[in-house]
Amino acid sequence: MNCSLKSINSNSRRLLAAILLVLYSFPTFSAQQYQIFNLTEAFGSGHFVPTDINDAGDVSGVYIDGNNRFESRGYLYKDGQFLELESEESIFTEQETLQVKTVPVAINNGGQVFGGVSYRYENQFYSVASGLQFLWENGLRYRTGYGDYVQSNSDCYPIDINDHGNYLLTCDAADNVNRTIYVGGNTYIDIYVRGTDIFATAINNDNKVVGRYLGAAFLLQNEEINLLPNLTQSRSIANDINNQGQIVGAVYKQLSGSEQYAFISSPGGHVTALTFEGNAYAEAINERGQVVGQLQDASSATEAFLFTDGSVQKLNDLVTDNPTAMTLTHATAINASGQIIGKGTVGGADFYYLATPVSNACPGEYRKYNLSGHNAQWQRFIADIPSCATHMNVEITGGTGDRDLYLRHTNPPWKPLFDCKRRAAIPNSDNHKRCQISNPEPGIWHIGVLRNSNYDGTTLRVRYW
């Protein structure tokens, strides 16, 4: 009896170990899903490059004309339409009329768009770093630096604007050595810092500024600049700060190396690495503490990432429907609703996108394309089914090879543990496997695709209504 019990316990331990290996060794598919809107395709010609997004989902950006720099101009994507940020007025500077084009860099939650002005003067083209900036608010008005808050001999880079209308500039002095950070706006704030290696990247509603100073990430507040704790011995940069005081950026692992990791810093100064096996670079953070950026795995392929609920996830794995095989390579900004803007590739060409979280309501659908199984026995995914659903349909279709479909509520399925299993009696005889559940329990459903032989080109589709 004792021997039998030992044998049973030993087998149980082996089974438990196998289950734990499956649970923690294979990737899962997050419950948060995204729909992708191709901004480049919607714009129709040239490239619309998004630069920022506010909490209403309005996107500032610039149309890039590769053949004529002066024809590049600013736009606002709002309520499904592209609005050109131009007007008939000209700008008068030193009694001269200049033809101007706007280059937006940021938009705040009040709908104000801030950026630089490129212009043509006496057949010469002057770039956005010209000492001229604009502020658009239900119409266009320009600000000039001449005799105002920027010296006329400075080259100034517009950086950001907060919800109070205070804007952020980094300016090079005429000696091309000293550099100054300016914060100004409807009520001018006399905050500036000079340095030979300083560049600002973002400002929050408390007029706290972050960026890079002497090769390290810094925080500027109350006219005092401080390097972020624990990063003073590293090459680093702070790229964004939210209104909670959380800061994100990137740190090089070696002072002279190129490997880097993304970080998030708490308001108290505690710095935490966003863990991922490879290089990572954090671009932006929203008010919920969600972070976006890009990462590189061992294959050196660049992919956009989302950090949420304590984990880093590839944005490509969260896309619900991707029939054109888009690859999201960069994520540059995220708003409070979780909407993301960035860059990707499709058909070998670059494009720019707006990613919007899928509403967790009925009906709903998730899809994953081109699944393949060659080495791993299982591929596992997660679907979050809302309480409004009275029907759920999970199916795998297409491709070649032999694989089975498993489904289980709350916990991952295993060969003896499942709520639904679909197998083919003869390999390759039926590549369409479907599980249909009436009145599904709300919450997390785990989906498992079990490889019997190598398979390629499989599509996974989850529908609920």
pLDDT digits (tens, 9 = 90+) for 26-64: 334 445 789 899 998 888 877 789 999 999 999 999 887
Which of 141, 162, 196 delimits the end of a domain? 196
* 79 has pLDDT over 80: yes
What pLDDT, on the 0 to 100 scale, is given for residue 48?
86
Does residue 85 form part of some domain? yes
Query: For 29-38, 196-205, 380-389, 391-400, which range has the lowest pLDDT when averaged over its residues?
Result: 29-38
Quote the tokens at residue 169. 């500039």
Tokens 């995220």 label which residue?
A: 334
Does residue 45 form part of some domain? no
* 66 has pLDDT over 60: no
Rg over CA atoms, the chain: 26
Which of 196, 213, 245 delimits the end of a domain? 196
Whether the Cβ atoms of residue 164 and residue 139 lie closer than 8 Å to each other? no
Does residue 240 form part of some domain? no
Rounded Cα distance, 430 and 19, in Å: 28
Residue 10 has what DSSP assignment? H
CA angle 72, 336, 225 (to 5 degrees): 80
Whether the Cβ atoms of residue 372 and residue 433 lie closer than 8 Å to each other? no
- What total number of domains does the chain contain? 2
What pLDDT, on the 0 to 100 scale, is given for residue 290?
92
Residue-range definition of the domain harbouring residue 96:
56-196
| Beta-sheet strand order (sheet of 271-273) | 236-241, 247-252, 260-265, 271-273
* 85 has pLDDT over 90: no
Nearest to 368 by CA among 318, 402, 324: 318
pLDDT digits (tens, 9 = 90+) for 214-271: 888 999 888 788 888 877 667 889 999 999 999 999 998 654 455 788 999 988 778 8
Query: For 79-83, 138-142, 219-223, 459-463, which range has the lowest pLDDT when averaged over its residues?
Result: 138-142
* 88 has pLDDT over 70: no
Which of 143, 161, 196 delimits the end of a domain? 196
Quote the tokens at residue 371. 């699944």
* 291 has pLDDT over 80: yes
Rounded Cα distance, 292 and 241, in Å: 13
Helix (H) or strand (E) holding 23: helix 2-25
Torsion, CA 332, CA 339, CA 170, CA 209, rounded to 10: -110
Q: In 10 A of CB 193, how many CB atoms? A: 20
* CB hemisphere CA count around 166 (13 angstroms): 18
Burial string for 162-175 (b: 16+ CB within 10 Å, else e) reads bebbbbbbbbbeee
Q: In 10 A of CB 16, how many CB atoms? A: 10
Does residue 28 form part of some domain? no
What pLDDT, on the 0 to 100 scale, is given for residue 187?
45
Quote the tokens at residue 249. 């950026």
Does residue 421 form part of some domain? yes
* 420 has pLDDT over 90: yes
Does residue 238 form part of some domain? no
Quote the tokens at residue 12. 């149980």
Whether the Cβ atoms of residue 183 and residue 207 lie closer than 8 Å to each other? yes
**Torsion over CA: 309, 311, 312, 313 (sign):** negative
What pLDDT, on the 0 to 100 scale, is given for residue 166?
87
Does residue 424 form part of some domain? yes
pLDDT digits (tens, 9 = 90+) for 307-350: 987 888 899 988 877 767 889 999 999 999 899 999 999 988 99
Estimate to the nearest angstrom the gap between the alpha carbon of 110 and the chain centroid. Answer: 22
The widest CA-to-CA distance across the chain, in whole angstroms, is 103
CA distances from 193 to 23, 225, 249, 446 (A): 51, 8, 21, 53
Whether the Cβ atoms of residue 67 and residue 369 lie closer than 8 Å to each other? no
pLDDT digits (tens, 9 = 90+) for 427-438: 444 578 999 999
Confidence of residue 369 (pLDDT cuts 50, 70, 90): confident
What's the mean pLDDT in 84-108?
A: 65
Query: For 84-98, 123-137, 177-191, 410-424, which range has the lowest pLDDT when averaged over its residues?
Result: 84-98
Q: Which residues pair with 390 in a beta bridge?
A: none
Does residue 326 form part of some domain? no
Highest mean pLDDT pick, 3-7, 25-29, 369-373:
369-373
Confidence of residue 414 (pLDDT cuts 50, 70, 90): confident
What's the mean pLDDT in 102-122?
A: 82
What is the CATH number for 441? 2.60.120.380
CA distances from 192 to 159, 364, 372 (A): 14, 51, 55
